[in-house]
Chain A
């Protein structure tokens, strides 16, 4: 693959996948840093694009790079864990007031998760990646993804439903 084709291809890939990468980064490092981290992600992808063998999904590959970039920037800038951005006006099953409370509780419960559990929850529940894709992004076995998800949800359930029962 020539450099010229790489350039055109990477621009096309960026147009196609920028939104997903940006969202992924925003949920990991915050919206303020998401643009920079996304840019770094695509620049890195451009440099190492010749190593991409097509064995995995391109999105997964980009998320993997983005994940590393997020880790790097978090380590470098010593960022505090970013709270999951909750839409306060999103659709709710029950009444509007209880939904807002639930979302706030959910945000608090998520913030109590470890970094590993939080990132697997984001990847699977919010970004919609399968276990296998999440495993590829995090460079861990599928069993690890499954285990982490189980423990993350166990902790979330304890945080949310215990508080809910206590409130009742």
Chain B
């Protein structure tokens, strides 16, 4: 740096002693440098003396602002500390008490369902067939949390696992008045003895091989059918599947909503609990459903197994998507159900399009590959098939699919040709069973 550049620093006393001595020596020798120094000093003095005195204001405002800022910051910190403390305390309490509540709830459930199952077994008016299928005292109760119907969405990702519809066969032996812990009868007003007699006459075939209850507690399988009935008349009954997945019972999907003209005597009524929700401990349901609605039930059951995307409000409406029936039920949209189905209609009755088509295996007639969507839209009369031939096909189909777990369902007329007794049995499909 040149002497000229250091002159200002020399004037300000900002040079080190060595450099200051050099500048001093140069100043003694160079009058031009001295003149420059003089100008710098004069200029500096002018600047320092010329600055106007500035009137200060705003100190009080600044102090107030500082106080406000500090107060808000402190309150924010306090809120944070309080909130954090409360959250920690709540978490601590939850962690400490959750095991206690959980155990108590589990114990209460076990006791309740054990007593329920025992009472079902002890009831005298239960048909032998159903009595044998009453739940053991160790049966795991299905969920009472109907709100888990949101799991309905999962249906689109997960078909009904290993739940199978094996057959819908005539079962005229079960009187419509029979009610057990494992069944619910949806009854219309009696149509009289004549209707009952006609009904028996037209359903002379003994029940097909009733599928025993599977292990309904296996993960990912249908373990029960949930029936939700309203107390008012006419009653709306909602059927839905429930499953136990990772120890949590979930409603897999809603089968459908059906209106019946009278109030339903439900298990809930018997045990004096919430009458709006009844859950069946077994995987069997007996439902006497009006004729015009029974087909819809069956169709809905099948559609439920096809993992179609739900549409409409509340997930009650199932998409009638393109679905073909093969050995198993397959959806063209890629959601493949490993369910197999064989259905039969009661003699003299007109099965619906669903019934007829779902009974068809790979070697079935041409309509076997028709879509469910189409079949659902058809009137039952349009899908009349020879019942005997149909049953034969069903038996052959069932024989080919002995490993498949099934849903067994029977339909029959009871009392009146306008009613149909629907029996649905869900059983577990053996693990590692290849999807047909």
Contacts and interface: CB of A to CB of B under 8 A. Distances in A.
Interface residues of B, number: 37
A39 B68 CA distance: 12
B56 A18 contact: yes
A23 B44 CA distance: 19
B61 A35 contact: yes
Contacts of A150: 4-5, 7-9
B63 A15 contact: yes
Interface in A39-53: 39, 42-43, 46-47
B66 A7 contact: yes
A43 to B, nearest CB: 6
Contact of A156 (B43, B53, B61, B65): B43
A124 B12 contact: yes
A22 B61 contact: no
A38 B8 contact: no
Interface stretch (A59-67, A70-78, A125-133): A125-133
B58 A84 contact: no
B98 to A, nearest CB: 37
B36 to A, nearest CB: 8
Given A3-B77, A149-B8, A161-B39, A23 B56 contact: yes
A122 to B, nearest CB: 9
Given A18-B56, A160-B43, A85 B51 contact: yes
Contacts of B66: 7, 10-11, 14, 42-43, 46
Interface residues of A, number: 50
B301 to A, nearest CB: 67
Given A14-B59, A39-B62, A87 B52 contact: yes
B178 interface: no
A22 B8 contact: no
A90 B56 CA distance: 18
Nearest to B55: A31
B40 interface: yes
Interface of B: 4-5, 7-9, 12, 14, 36, 39-40, 43-44, 46-59, 61-63, 65-67, 69-70, 73-74, 77
Given A3-B70, A86-B52, A150-B7, 14 more contacts: A3-B73, A11-B67, A18-B56, A26-B54, A35-B62, A43-B69, A46-B70, A87-B52, A103-B46, A103-B50, A106-B47, A121-B47, A149-B12, A150-B9
24 contacts: A7-B66, A7-B67, A15-B63, A18-B58, A23-B54, A31-B54, A31-B55, A34-B58, A35-B57, A38-B58, A42-B66, A43-B66, A47-B69, A84-B50, A86-B52, A87-B51, A90-B50, A125-B48, A126-B51, A131-B12, A149-B12, A150-B5, A157-B36, A160-B43
Interface of A: 3, 6-7, 10-11, 14-15, 18-19, 22-23, 26-27, 31, 34-36, 38-39, 42-43, 46-47, 84-88, 90-92, 102-103, 106-107, 121, 124-126, 130-131, 146-147, 149-150, 153, 156-157, 160-161
